[in-house]
Amino acid sequence: MLEMEKSKTLRLLMPQWQGGNNPPYVLGAHLLNWLAPKTDGPFEEVPVDLDASLEKEQGIVAKSSLLNQARSAKRLIHEHNPDSIIVLGGDCGVELAPFAYLNEKYDGDTALLWVDSHPDVSIPEDWPNHHAHVLANLLSVGDKEFVAEVPRPFKPEQVLFVGLNDMIEALHSKPLRDMKMDIVTPDDINEDSSKVLQWLELRKPSKVIVHLDLDVLDLREFRSLLVANPDTYDKMVGHTPKGSSIETIIRVLQDVAKAHQIVGLGITEHFPWDAMALQNMLQRLPLIGDINKKDKPIVNWTL
């Protein structure tokens, strides 16, 4: 393969929804891809089973479909052998194959910024939805078949949580309690990015990988989040921990990119409430849709 072909960024669209059992993530992923700036490198869309069984297998909802999709993503990535990857999801489980690939490619000389309100280190015994397991799998914890998809697991000292403010108890489950996991809270990055930059400077990784779950953003500013259901929005505003602003997250990631080489960026869990409602409306109007259609979008409230 020519050198010019090796040096490239793969853009991977993976509209996976079963990990959180929420079909609207399919629309959310496609909208993300449409909204994101166009890129010149290769593009692939990971096939996703839209009619997957949501039966629980070994404690994980839709395990077979999720494993098949992770393996499809892995095959597509290895066909291109990219130097860097952009992932547009879908639920957080879309990060399994691309981040495992990048950590192996760079011999573990990476840092992983987990920019998320949740730690995603649950195990099947505690939580059935795989999108909450993915970082545990990347750390070689959890279901053995998902862990087997990670040839070079991340070490706890490679990971920094950025913006974490919910479900922190998952870090204290039996498999995780002996792992020291560093955390930067929303308050820590409110004024500047120094705590993130200092953490990176201490570790001096050659490459940085970024997971960006949009739920790290404050629902009072950004409402395309599962938690921002219009029917219960006022209630959720009252008791949901305050997240980070859009400008704060932009500034942190720009500051990191100015000081370090970012080779992975995954953006996940875009839940477009207004677009979903409009899509359903259009599907039920005369001439353009079906006037006998009565069903509305189904939303799963179990994170």
Residue 55 lies in a domain: yes
Over the stretch 92-148, which tens digit does the pLDDT of each residue have? 999 999 999 999 999 999 999 999 999 999 999 999 999 999 999 999 999 999 999
265 lies in which domain range? 3-283
Omega before residue 90 within 30° of 0, cis: yes
Tell me which residue of 163, 154, 171, 248 sits closest to 207, measured CA to CA: 154
Strand partners, 88: 13, 267
Over the stretch 277-292, which tens digit does the pLDDT of each residue have? 999 999 999 999 999 9
Residue 288 lies in a domain: no
Residue 291 lies in a domain: no
Crossing angle of the two packed helices 246-259 and 194-203, in degrees rounded to 10: 30
pLDDT beneath 70: ranges in the chain: 1-7, 298, 300-303
Count of domains observed in the chain: 1
Helix residue ranges per DSSP H, the chain: 3-6, 24-35, 63-80, 96-105, 134-138, 144-147, 194-203, 233-239, 246-259, 273-283
Give the pLDDT score at 173. Answer: 83
CA distance 166 to 164: 6
Residue 145 lies in a domain: yes
Q: Residue 249's domain is classified under what CATH number?
A: 3.40.800.10
| Residue 29 near residue 89, CB atoms below 8 Å | yes
Count other C-beta atoms under 10 Å from residue 266's C-beta.
Answer: 24
Q: Which residue has the tokens 């409306």?
A: 281
Give the pLDDT score at 78. Answer: 98
Give the pLDDT score at 4. Answer: 40
Residue 300 lies in a domain: no
Residue 302 lies in a domain: no
